[in-house]
Amino acid sequence: MLFNSFEFLIFLVVVLFLVWIIKNRNYQYIILLLASYYFYWFSSGMFFLLLIFSTLLDYYCGREIYNIDDKKIKKRLLLLSLVGNLGILGFFKYTNFAITTFNKLGFNFELLNVILPVGISFFTFQTMSYTLDIYFKKLKPTDSLLKFALYISFFPQLVAGPIVRAIDFIPQLKNRILFSYSNIKWGLSLVGWGLVKKMVFADNVSVIADSIFSNPLDKSSFLIILGAFAFGIQIYCDFSGYSDIAIGVARMMGFSLPLNFNKPYFAKNPSDFWKRWHISLSSWLRDYLYIPLGGNRRGNVVYTNLMITMVLGGLWHGAAYNFVLWGFYQGILLVVYKLISDKIRINSLISFIITQYFVFMGWILFRVKDMSHIIYSIKKYVLIDFSLIGVLDFFIINKTPIFLLLLFCYLHFNSFILKNTIDRIRFLKLRYWFLYVLIIVVMLLLFTPSETAEFIYFQF
């Protein structure tokens, strides 16, 4: 069930109404839990049983890890949780990737008919963080299976994040849900902007990236650079748009979800970029992988830790070699930055330009799957040929997507300068806020393509 679909609108209105008319806290949470399971069942069918499996596994593992004093048993329970969650993630997401890899080495295994459940990478990481936090004594387990199940399955962020920590969400379940004017206004402001990001900008700008990278071998450097830039804007608008809608829907019910994007295309170094891009994943990788590996504490081993973390982060995005390359590439950027940051001082503007140049080059690895296409595109991106053949025709054919690409850049720059744009909007007087809503509706009516695509991160 897509956020930008009529079905979701009806679903959301019904859920909000039911939660509003019910005054008992537990009944409200039961309605939300059932709605979340229905939401996932609608998107993935019987795979919602995997969600229930992970919920039961980690609820009971977390409880026993906390109650049992024997350290060996604690470790076994943690191992059971990790193997259970990573096992289902590995089977559904990486089995055919592993078979394909072995076949390239000379084996002849048949591929399995495995379907990837929507959002499995997100909810397995979320549920694992619960048992890990209990094991490392950062969290006490909840005594309510209902609350834990709702934490794992909460429908706004279930299939594409943000990845929420139990320590942040479960305490919000102490009181019954009360709807307030300020929360409704705040939530709708976020939802409206998220829909515009997705349907107006991402889905239109995707035409540029798709037409260039469907077969880049005859494209000039200018078009390759334009394609990389367009895809960078597309994936940002697509994914941050989803996050805005998820955070906005949760806010309407009074729940606070963590910020997932913070103007990543204004980052001044690779480390800064990962503090701004997909924050819930990058912080998860930092806390549950990078730091346990040793983090910054083991001298030169820190570079190995960075590479392992980013390669696995790339593989988390998808079972394909281009994602592994993208993760390796991001690791290289972080290692190089760490090596030179204490020795060389670079002007902030120059640092920003260099960082974004390499960030957008990395999107080629993320977007293009064919290795020969990747090599050609990177070569054209780096070794500029200054050819303008076909560029004018491309602009004429794609004038609307080009216009929307430029419009987004203008709006994005202004939101960076003004800061806290949504806060400014939600505090507008009602007549001005309605004008904002009207602008959102007009943009959606004028520029929404006839066919909108699935959110990119649904495949992860």
317 labelled catalytic: yes
Burial (Cβ within 10 Å: 0-12, 13-18, ≥19) of residue 143:
exposed
pLDDT at 398: 94
> Quick one: 170 and 91 in the same domain?
yes
Domain count, the chain: 2
- pLDDT at residue 458 greater than cutoff 80: no
CA distance 301 to 286: 15
Is 347 inside a domain boundary? yes
> Quick one: 229 and 263 in the same domain?
yes
Is 441 inside a domain boundary? yes
Q: What residues contact 240, with CB distance under 8 A and at least 6 apart?
A: 194, 197, 260, 261
Q: What residues contact 235, with CB distance under 8 A and at least 6 apart?
A: 202, 363, 366, 367, 456
Amino acid at 375: I
pLDDT tens profile 256-311: 999 999 999 999 999 999 999 999 999 999 999 999 988 777 667 888 999 999 99
Is 153 inside a domain boundary? yes
Token pair for residue 107?
A: 């084996």
pLDDT tens profile 64-73: 999 998 999 9
Is 289 inside a domain boundary? no
Tokens 């929404």, located at residue: 448
Is 279 inside a domain boundary? no
Q: Are 44 and 122 in contact (CB under 8 A)?
A: no
pLDDT at 6: 87
Domain boundary among 149, 177, 205: 177
Cα→Cα distances 238→12, 200, 247, 303, Å? 20, 10, 14, 32
> Quick one: 361 and 443 in the same domain?
yes
- pLDDT at residue 437 greater than cutoff 90: yes
> Quick one: 200 and 152 in the same domain?
no
> Quick one: 165 and 192 in the same domain?
no
> Quick one: 115 and 161 in the same domain?
yes
Cα→Cα distances 441→189, 200, 402, 452, Å? 12, 11, 21, 16
CA distance 458 to 121: 10
Domain boundary among 110, 144, 177: 177
> Quick one: 202 and 151 in the same domain?
no
Q: Are 185 and 67 in contact (CB under 8 A)?
A: no
Q: What residues contact 446, with CB distance under 8 A and at least 6 apart?
A: none
**Confidence bin at 439 (pLDDT 50/70/90):** very high
Is 364 inside a domain boundary? yes
The model's pTM is 0.93
Distance of CA 71 to the CA centre of its chain: 35
Q: Are 91 and 85 in contact (CB under 8 A)?
A: no
- pLDDT at residue 383 greater than cutoff 80: yes
Is 281 inside a domain boundary? no
**Residue percentage of the chain with pLDDT more than 70:** 99
- pLDDT at residue 422 greater than cutoff 90: no
> Quick one: 163 and 195 in the same domain?
no
> Quick one: 108 and 252 in the same domain?
no
Is 373 inside a domain boundary? yes
> Quick one: 373 and 248 in the same domain?
yes
Amino acid at 303: Y
pLDDT at 45: 85
> Quick one: 187 and 253 in the same domain?
yes
Q: Which of 269, 232, 447, 437 is closest to 349 using CA atoms?
A: 269
CA distance 131 to 170: 14
Q: Which of 176, 66, 158, 178 is closest to 117 using CA atoms?
A: 158
CA distance 172 to 391: 53
Range of the domain at 110: 6-177
> Quick one: 29 and 96 in the same domain?
yes
CA distance 128 to 120: 12
Domain boundary among 177, 197, 223: 177
- For the chain, the straight-line distance linking the first and the last C-alpha, in angstroms and rounded, comes to 16
Average pLDDT, the chain: 92
Looking at residue 266, the DSSP 8-state letter turns out to be G
CA distance 417 to 409: 12
Burial (Cβ within 10 Å: 0-12, 13-18, ≥19) of residue 417:
exposed
